[in-house]
Amino acid sequence: MNDSLELDRTDPLAHLRSRFLGTSEPLVYFDGNSLGRPLEVTPERLAAFVRHDWGERLIRGWDEGWFDLPLTLGDRLGRVALGAAPGQTAFGDSTTVLLYKVVRAAVAARPGRDEIVIDRDNFPTDRYVAQGIAAELGLTLRWIDVDTSAGLTADELAAAVGPRTALVMASHVAYRSAWLADAPTLTQIAHDAGALVMWDLSHSVGVVPVQLDRWDVDLAVGCSYKYLNGGPGSPAFLYVAQRHLDELTQPIQGWMGATDPFLMGPTYTPTDGIRRFHSGTPPIVGMLAVEDMVELIEEAGIEAVREKSVALTSYAVELADDLLAPLGVDVASPRDPARRGGHVTLRHPRMQAVTEALWKRDVIPDYRDPHGLRIGLSPLSTSFEEVERGMHAVLGELERSG
C-alpha cells in the first residue's frame, strides 16, 4: 500500500492546500463534493467588499463592474474549466432555476417533439424539474434505468432516443456513483436523433476537464459551491452554445435580460447574447468567493487538478480494498479512473449509522442510499494523509458497529 506522507511529499499541488481555511486542523473533510472549504482570502475579500465596494461606492458599483460580473466570471470559468469560448457562459440564479430556464427553452425550440429523456439516477433536482415541466407542457418523460454503481451508457441512451425526443438531460458525473459519462458520444447520439442535450456539470466543474465547445454541447448548468468553493447558496452558471443564443428564449422574463434594462419600458424584448438568460438582479456577493477559486484553478491548471483527483480517489479505493473489503464493504464507484469523477462511494448495510458516528468524531463524509458512504475529495484542499486518517476512522466505526 502506498505511503500517504510520501504521496503528499511528491504532490506538486500540495502547497496549495494551505490556501484553504481549516486544513491545518485535524478534522477530516470528505464532503468537498457537496460544499467546498472556503479559501483563506474569502473572509477578507468579503469584508473589503462590504466596506469599500458596497459601503463606499454604493450604487456606483453597477457601473464599476457589478453589471458585467456574471458574464466576465462566466467567460473566465469557460476558459479555465469548461472549454467554452467567450459569450456563452454566465452566472446567475440557483441550479434549479437555471435548469428550468434551459429545459423550457430547449423543448420550445423542438416543436412537434414531446419527450424528454432522462435517467432515473440523475440528480433529484434535475428529475423534479423535468417532471414539473412535463406536467406543465403535457410532455412525456422517457426514463432510462441505469446501474446505480455506474451511470448512463451509450447503448442505453441510443435505445431511448427517437423522433419524439426534444431534449436529453444527463449528469456529467453521477452524484451517487461518480460515474463519468462519455459526454461527447452521448451528445452525438442525442444529435443524431434530432434532439438537444443538456449536461449537469455540478459534480464535474472544477475537478474534471470539460470541453463543451469541442463536444458540440447545446446547454449546460452547474453549481458553484462544490469544487468551485463559492459557499452555501452561491450562484449557479449556465452555458448556451453560440449557435442557439438567437433561437432560444428563456421563460422567466425579467428586467436584467431585457434589451435595455434601465429603460424600464412597457414591454419585454430579450437582449442579444447570453445575457438574455438573466432575469432579476444577479447575486454579486455570492460570486466573489467563486471568482477567487476560479483564479486558483487557473493557477493550478485543470489538467493537474484532474491528475491529483484521480490519485486521491485511486488511493481511497486502494485503502478500501485493503482495510474495508474484509468487512464486506463494496466500492460502488467505477474502478477505472477514466470513468470516475471526484468522489468514491463505499457500500455496506451499516453505512448510515457509520456516517452519523463519524460526524461526531470530526470525520465528515456524507450518506446516499442505498447504503452508500460517499467520500468527496476536493483535490486542492485534500491531502493523502487526510484520506488515510479518514479511511481508518471508517474502519474503526464499522468494527464498533458490528
Terminal Cα distance for the chain, rounded? 25
- The C-alpha cell at 363 is 470525520
CA atoms of 341 and 177, how far apart (whole Å) = 9
The per-type count for the chain, helices as H runs and strands as E runs, is: 11, 13
204-207, long-range: CB within 8 Å, 24+ apart, which pairs?
A: 204/172, 204/173, 204/180, 204/341, 204/342, 205/77, 205/81, 205/82, 205/237, 206/81, 206/293, 206/297, 206/302, 206/305, 207/33, 207/305, 207/306, 207/309, 207/341, 207/342, 207/378, 207/379
Catalytic member of 101, 104, 113, 226:
226
- The C-alpha cell at 18 is 494551505
CA atoms of 78 and 274, how far apart (whole Å) = 13
Check if 374 is active-site: yes
| Pair 205, 81: CB distance under 8 Å | yes
Of 72, 107, 99, nearest in space to 202 by CA: 99
E-assigned strand segments in 278-340: 330-331
Check if 101 is active-site: no
Catalytic member of 17, 76, 275, 374:
374
- The C-alpha cell at 274 is 447570453
Catalytic member of 225, 277, 315, 384:
225
Residue that is written with C-alpha cell 428564449 in the block:
249
Residue that is written with C-alpha cell 415541466 in the block:
133
CA atoms of 115 and 349, how far apart (whole Å) = 37
Helix (H, G, I), strand (E, B) or coil at 373: strand
The helix (run of H) or strand (run of E) holding residue 168 is: strand 165-171
Report the Cα 131 to chain-centroid distance in Å.
21
Catalytic member of 200, 218, 292, 366:
200
Residue 331: DSSP 8-state? E
Check if 225 is active-site: yes
Check if 123 is active-site: yes
Check if 369 is active-site: no
- Active site members: 123, 200, 225-226, 374
